[in-house]
Amino acid sequence: MASSQGNSESRSTRRSRAAGRQLPRPECLSDAGKGTRLQKFLATAGVDSRRNTEEFIRAGRVTVDGETVRNPATIVRPEEQDVSLDGERLLPPRYQYFLLNKPKGVVCTNRDPAGRPRAVDLVPAGDQRLFTVGRLDENTEGLLLVTNDGALAEHLAHPRYEVTRKYRVQVAGLPTPETLGELRHGMYFSDGFFRFQKIRILKRKGRSAFLELEMQEGKNREIRRLMARAGHKVMNLQRVAFGPLRLGRLELGAARELRSAELKELYDFVDNTPQKRAQRPRGNTKKIAKAAREAREKKAAAAERPQAAGRRGAARNVKSGSAAAGKKRPAKRTVKRKVKKKAGKRRPGRR
């Protein structure tokens, strides 16, 4: 019974993979007709990293249609040409896409001198060289996309495409509405301007709060640094969504291949991303920062209005008082003159 169940699961997995291979790739990800650089093709074919494949090419180990090529930037068309390494032909890669629920203590790099557990080790890669799309720091858990599709990884990970990332975070203390507003407006750091597109409180537990937030850039420890600046230390951080992908009920430390529907949704998401977002003006971040600064100044001005009104009222009172006093000055001078004249007369009996 168990064997028949295992066979059925393996058949369903094979059907899912076959359906994924039959899905047409978006034109923005395809190199058909344009060709690809030799160095890039060797890396996507699973030979090694781009840096190492460059050394293979310069050493004369790679041939294109029987001729040795030593320039890593040479444009090749693997569907039409014979690209070989040490005499063995390299075929275009079969792209794979895995959803991983990364646990804490696992790093996203493919090479770690410290020997820590790697995210790619939790995925059944086979003979393909896989890598993570973007990164989560060692103490963050949650959704990671692991693939060998470099073009797709660039579209999803690069900040210029503004792919939304959703997180759930537990922080120490209870953030006020003013604090949430500051986090939406953003803050300056030494390496850039950080902000949350959305942030809301899910629930409170003792002296901590659970938040849900969204952002479109994944800079180094951005969430932890923003929350620390706001006075709320991050206790637990989990990514639950990345673009159209959702973590769902995937167990911690488990990985699975994307389903056909998920892969189609991912392709549609990348294909429908406007190119204008990739060519946005450089000053966009400055405009956001300027708007945030103006909002803070407006808020501070609104808080000072009652005090300013009080100061203006006092000024009017002083002004009116001085005007009234100015009208009485001649009478005062007259009185002083009379006093002086009287003082000048000597009383009898005094010398």
The pLDDT of residue 321 = 54
What domains appear along the chain, each with residue ranges and CATH number? 24-89 (3.10.290.10), 100-161+249-273 (3.30.70.580), 164-242+277-306 (3.30.70.1560)
The pLDDT of residue 8 = 40
Regions of the chain short of the pLDDT cut 50: 1-16, 18-20, 276-283, 324-325, 328, 332, 334-336, 338-341, 351
Q: How many CB atoms lie within 10 A of CB 198?
A: 13
The pLDDT of residue 35 = 80
Does the active-site annotation cover 65?
no
pLDDT in tens, 15-35: 445 444 567 888 777 765 578
Catalytic residue among 31, 65, 112, 137: 137
**How much is the pTM?**
0.67
pLDDT in tens, 31-80: 655 788 898 888 877 788 778 889 999 999 999 999 999 999 999 988 88
